[in-house]
């Protein structure tokens, strides 16, 4: 007697275990993904968290070249990680993270970054100004 075997053809990702805190894009030409980490913000850093959160929300529309956008997003995530971690923010790490974020925005703010969209320079200047004095 022959054994019957069922074959499935899937046209997308298939997960055989639980998947959490993951983001997937399938068959996209371009994609922008955002993920919110709703961890508690350390007391006294709420304004900084709000500014960085706004920056991350506006980042996809800023028209930055891919590398500049990725660098800015990574630097912003470092700031958020420091102020939402399980321990109080360590001042030196936070200062470095903020300087990294400002540094990622600086080429755009000064007009040095090639390929930026119209208005990106002013947006980056405003973002740097908003970050100044919050860390």
Do residues 128 and 105 touch, judged by C-beta distance below 8 A? yes
pLDDT at position 35 is: 59
Q: How confident is the model at residue 123 (pLDDT cuts 50, 70, 90)?
A: confident
The CA-atom distances, in angstroms, between 1 and each of 4, 6, 124 are 9, 16, 71
The string of pLDDT tens digits covering residues 15-51 is: 666 655 456 666 566 666 665 555 689 999 999 999 9
Q: Give me Rg for the CA atoms of the chain.
A: 20
Record the pTM.
0.66
Give the total residue count for the chain.
135
pLDDT at position 101 is: 93
User: What are the residues whose beta carbons fall under 8 Å from the beta carbon of 88, sequence distance 6 or more?
Assistant: 42
Predicted confidence (pLDDT) at residue 115 exceeds the cutoff of 70: no
Q: Residue 43 and residue 129: Cα distance in Å, rounded? A: 22
- Of the two residues 132 and 1, the one the predictor is more confident about is 132
The string of pLDDT tens digits covering residues 50-102 is: 999 999 998 888 877 788 889 899 999 999 999 998 888 999 999 999 999 99
Domain chopping of the chain, boundaries: 46-131
């Amino acid at each position: 007697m022959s054994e019957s075997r069922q074959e499935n053809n899937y046209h997308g990702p298939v997960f055989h275990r639980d998947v959490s805190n993951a983001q997937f894009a399938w068959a996209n030409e371009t994609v922008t993904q955002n993920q919110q980490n709703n961890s508690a913000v350390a007391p006294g850093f709420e304004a900084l968290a709000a500014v960085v959160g706004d920056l991350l929300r506006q980042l996809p529309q800023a028209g930055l070249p891919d590398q500049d956008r990725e660098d800015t997003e990574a630097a912003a995530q470092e700031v958020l990680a420091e102020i939402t971690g399980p321990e109080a923010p360590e001042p030196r790490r936070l200062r470095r993270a903020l300087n990294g974020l400002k540094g990622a925005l600086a080429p755009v703010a000064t007009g040095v970054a090639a390929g930026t969209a119209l208005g990106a320079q002013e947006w980056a200047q405003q973002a740097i100004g908003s970050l100044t004095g919050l860390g």
